């Protein structure tokens, strides 16, 4: 990374995950491997395991606003406010026009469209009954826009669409916009309301990629020979990003520095991942961070629990890191499911506190490790305590062949 560029740090985190509504309880649950994946019943589709978030939906806006807006907006508004509170910042600190809101989405509008088609089906498919809320709810800047309206932010707000790499991509966007001087502070992260869409479950099912198990908490089984697909979760995670010097100046608590990142594309297939490009993406992020593979302490995998996806990622990791004693490798989806557009940022958040507690949270649900997914230092079931954790690499890949990697490092007290 060009050392002339401003150093960007994370100073606040707000999250809603299927097992927690704040960073510390989320960390506690991940260290204990506590999954709260449950069975839900979807219109037309029926029952499926899914991750549903429980949080105080009216903590930062009225029920009326939640009813008018979207679930993604509701999740986003909660997390953005929590992130600001965590950072001990008000919008006025930098000024409303100097704050940018960048929200990663795998998809948006599917839930609202399905609901509306169902609604008019009750009226003979007469489109006179189609709601005027449809367009403002389904524009892609909706979740970022709901955050912006709630907080009175007048700087830029928009969505980053990058399939399941979108959370990481938005974090990268936030870093870039601060470095360019477009904004002084970013609220960046990802949101997913996909559990409200029967079509998303049905599509994964048709693809043979929807995870299942008698116990929904065991439905997401990355690296296990019996794995049979993805568990769809809703969720959100928003970070406060600032320049390092501005954060130090105001005495902020600094979680981590975004040390390196990369995004690239497979350019081959709609759904199948490709380890060579994934490996190139990790290598590019390492190069930009000025780090060698040996420097990474924890690698948080993207692995979703699909047959081929997990194998491809393990091949990519093997190619970049070889058979060495570092990094330690874990997986957050095994515990919280796949939060789609929020996945990358939620999973990064799940590892962020390793800089404080030096622990590697475990992956769960792998009783019979697939030989094709075998890597050194995979952490299963029980957390591992390291002497120190200074760097974390987070993988996040998506459909239509998009790969993203973020590397964060610990910022020592000056």
Partner 1 sequence: MTRDSIKNLILEIIEDIDEDADFDTLQSDQPLRDQLDLDSMDFLDIVMELRKRHKLQIPEEDYPELATLDSCVNYLEPLLVNV
User: Which of 187, 159, 230 shows the shortest CA–CA distance to 77?
Assistant: 187
| Contact in structure between 30 and 332 (CB atoms under 8 Å) | yes
- Angle between the 71-87 and 142-151 helix axes, to the nearest 10 degrees? 50
Mark 8-28 as b/e (b = at least 16 C-beta within 10 Å).
bbbbbbbbbbbbbbbbeebbe
Q: Which of 108, 157, 302, 361 is catalytic?
A: 302
Minimum gap (Å) between residue 315 Cβ and partner 1: 51
Query: Catalytic: 361?
Result: no
Distance (Å, whole) CA 334 – CA 365:
7
Residue 133 a catalytic site member: no
Biggest CA–CA distance in the chain, Å, is 67
Q: Which residues bind partner 1 (CB under 8 A)?
A: 62-64, 67-68, 123, 128-129, 131-133, 136
Residue 326: which of 387, 385, 382, 377 has the closest Cα?
A: 377
Residue 108 annotated to the active site: no
Number of C-beta neighbours around residue 309 at 10 A: 22
Of 188, 203, 181, 200, whose CA–CA distance to 79 is shortest?
Answer: 188
Query: Whole-number minimum distance, CB 119 to partner 1, in Å?
Result: 9
Instruction: Establish how many alpha carbons lie within 13 A of residue 322's alpha carbon, considering only the half-sphere containing its beta carbon.
Output: 5
Backbone dihedral angles phi then psi of residue 269, each to the nearest 5 degrees: -145, 155
**Residue 223 token pair:** 């690296």
Decide whether 94 or 130 has the Cβ nearer to partner 1: 130
> Six-digit token pair at 294?
């040996």
Positions annotated as catalytic residues are 164, 302, 338
């Amino acid at each position: 990374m060009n050392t002339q560029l401003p150093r960007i740090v994370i100073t606040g985190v707000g999250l809603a995950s299927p097992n927690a509504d704040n960073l510390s309880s989320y960390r506690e649950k991940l260290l204990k491997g506590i999954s709260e994946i449950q069975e839900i019943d979807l219109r037309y589709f029926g029952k499926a395991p899914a991750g549903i978030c429980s949080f105080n939906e009216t903590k930062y806006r009225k029920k009326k606003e939640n009813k008018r807006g979207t679930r993604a907006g509701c999740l986003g508004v909660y997390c953005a406010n929590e992130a600001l509170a965590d950072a001990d910042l008000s919008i006025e600190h930098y000024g409303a026009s100097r704050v940018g809101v960048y929200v990663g989405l795998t998809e948006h509008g599917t839930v609202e469209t399905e609901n509306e088609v169902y609604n008019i089906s009750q009226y003979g498919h007469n489109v006179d009954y189609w709601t005027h809320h449809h367009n403002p709810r389904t524009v892609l800047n909706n979740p970022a826009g709901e955050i912006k309206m709630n907080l009175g932010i007048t700087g830029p707000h928009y969505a980053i669409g990058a399939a399941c790499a979108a959370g990481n991509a938005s974090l990268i966007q936030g870093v870039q916009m601060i470095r360019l001087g477009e904004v002084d502070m970013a609220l960046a992260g990802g949101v997913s309301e996909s559990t409200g869409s029967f079509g998303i479950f049905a599509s994964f099912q048709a693809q043979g990629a929807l995870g299942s198990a008698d116990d929904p908490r065991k439905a997401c089984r990355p690296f296990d020979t019996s794995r049979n697909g993805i568990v769809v979760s809703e969720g959100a995670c928003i970070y406060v990003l600032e320049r390092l010097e501005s954060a130090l100046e105001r005495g902020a608590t600094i979680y981590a520095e975004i040390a390196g990142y990369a995004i690239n594309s497979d350019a081959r297939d709609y759904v199948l991942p490709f380890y060579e490009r994934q490996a190139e993406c990790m290598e590019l992020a390492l190069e930009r961070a000025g780090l060698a593979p040996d420097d990474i302490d924890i690698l948080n995998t993207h692995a979703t629990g699909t047959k081929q996806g997990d194998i491809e990622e393990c091949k990519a990791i093997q190619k970049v890191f070889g058979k060495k004693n570092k990094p330690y490798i874990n997986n957050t989806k095994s515990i919280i499911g796949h939060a789609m557009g929020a996945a990358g940022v939620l999973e990064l958040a799940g590892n962020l506190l390793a800089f404080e507690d030096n622990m590697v949270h475990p992956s769960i649900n792998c009783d019979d490790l697939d030989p094709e997914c075998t890597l050194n230092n995979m952490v299963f079931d029980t957390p591992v305590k390291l002497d120190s954790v200074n760097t974390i690499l987070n993988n996040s890949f998506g459909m239509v062949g998009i790969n993203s990697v973020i590397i964060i490092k610990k910022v020592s007290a000056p």
